[in-house]
Chains A and B, each alone.
Chain A
Amino acid sequence: ILNVEQSPQSLHVQEGDSTNFTCSFPSSNFYALHWYRWETAKSPEALFVMTLNGDEKKKGRISATLNTKEGYSYLYIKGSQPEDSATYLCAFWNSGAGSYQLTFGKGTKLSVIP
């Protein structure tokens, strides 16, 4: 079983604050890193798919960076809003055996306080 770690486990921020959290994954046999957002009572939805070292992706106030050599990705949220409250999951595709499955981290639960 591959090890995908996310930190922190949970986070409370005030509305308007910017925040970031980390996903670490194996630095060998990298294929892709996915970020998903999971709101309560909804299904996880894809935010980003990142494949190249140095990738930076942006969607509105949310952005992500990727370092495949050292095995980490950061997700940034600028000016957090209450609607950003969700669990953010990262998931790792490896290029080796078992390459049909994503390995998910346990997520970072973000709560934005109005």
Chain B
Amino acid sequence: DVKVTQSSRYLVKRTGEKVFLECVQDMDHENMFWYRQDPGLGLRLIYFSYDVKMKEKGDIPEGYSVSREKKERFSLILESASTNQTSMYLCASSFPRDTQYFGPGTRLTVL
């Protein structure tokens, strides 16, 4: 079974803090993705990576950065958290152009 894990299910941070969300997959997938999900807006792609150390901006990259130093791990970084980054964050991984497998999500609240 494919497994995608995320470092936290729930996270509460203060405005201005640096936040790291980590995602690990065990299927040797080349592609990894970070989405956020907000009511009425669906899943929106923040960043994706198609190889180690490679990254591409998605639809809403502002305020975020990513790191992929190893194939199995993809980190999302909020350099200075803001209240409008309160959201559900989902990580996914896949082979190129194949089914995406999602992690359980991290519900981040920024106070």
Contact = CB atoms under 8 A, between A and B. Distances in A.
A49 B98 CA distance: 8
Contacts of A44: 43, 90, 100, 102
Interface residues of A, number: 22
B61 interface: no
A106 B40 contact: yes
Nearest to B104: A43
Interface in A7-62: 31-32, 34, 36, 42-46, 49
Interface residues of B, number: 26
A101 B48 contact: yes
B41 A100 contact: no
Contacts, number: 50
A100 B48 CA distance: 8
B41 A106 contact: yes
A100 B31 contact: yes
B96 to A, nearest CB: 7
B42 A105 contact: yes
A42 B9 CA distance: 11
Q: Which of A36, A44, A99, A104 has the most CB of B within 10 A?
A: A44
Given A43-B102, A101-B48, A32 B97 contact: yes
15 contacts: A31-B97, A43-B90, A44-B90, A44-B100, A45-B102, A46-B100, A49-B98, A91-B100, A99-B97, A100-B31, A100-B96, A101-B33, A101-B45, A101-B48, A102-B100
Interface of B: 4, 31, 33, 35, 40-45, 48, 50, 56, 58-59, 90, 96-105
Interface of A: 1, 31-32, 34, 36, 42-46, 49, 89, 91, 93, 99-102, 104-107
- Nearest first, the 10 A-B pairs at minimum CB distance are A106-B42, A43-B102, A104-B43, A46-B99, A44-B102, A100-B50, A43-B104, A104-B42, A101-B45, A93-B97
